[in-house]
Amino acid sequence: MNKDRGICKGLCKEHKVRKPRDGTSRYLSGQVRCQICGVFMSREACHDKEERPATDDTVDLYCNCCNCMVRSRPRNKPGTKSSKKTPQEEYDELRELKKKY
């Protein structure tokens, strides 16, 4: 394997995958994203630190094309924005706490 990092050689295009049709997340369906190559690909297009082929249990994955680490989890967690409380809810919660003491 070539040790050059950060240059897309075009090998990743063979392993490019489409978005799942069942509505699940790409990451939940086992796809990974290489930021250097800019594509979602299957885990078969990756290797681990020792340059062995990636398995389902492999944690740190590297792209076979550019040898950079790929993302196997989303950057943001879904639902974090909607879980924020409105100012009125915070006020009501604070009033309830004051009543207890």
pLDDT tens readout for residues 61-98:
999 999 999 998 888 766 545 456 677 777 788 778 77
> Does residue 83 belong to any structural domain of this protein?
no
> Does residue 84 belong to any structural domain of this protein?
no
> Does residue 20 belong to any structural domain of this protein?
yes
The overall average pLDDT reported for the chain is 82
CA 19 to each of CA 38, 85, 92: distance values in angstroms, whole numbers, following the listed order: 14, 33, 43
Alpha-helical (H) ranges within the chain are 87-100
Determine the pLDDT at residue 95: 78
Determine the pLDDT at residue 79: 53
> Does residue 9 belong to any structural domain of this protein?
yes
- Please give the residue that has the higher pLDDT: either 38 or 78: 38
| Number of domains present in the structure of the chain | 1
Q: How confident is the model at residue 40 (pLDDT cuts 50, 70, 90)?
A: very high
Q: What is the pTM of this model?
A: 0.66
Q: How far apart are CA 41 and CA 63, in angstroms?
A: 9
> Does residue 2 belong to any structural domain of this protein?
yes
Determine the pLDDT at residue 21: 87
State which residues form the domain around 69.
Answer: 1-75
Q: What's the average model confidence in pLDDT over 7-23? A: 87
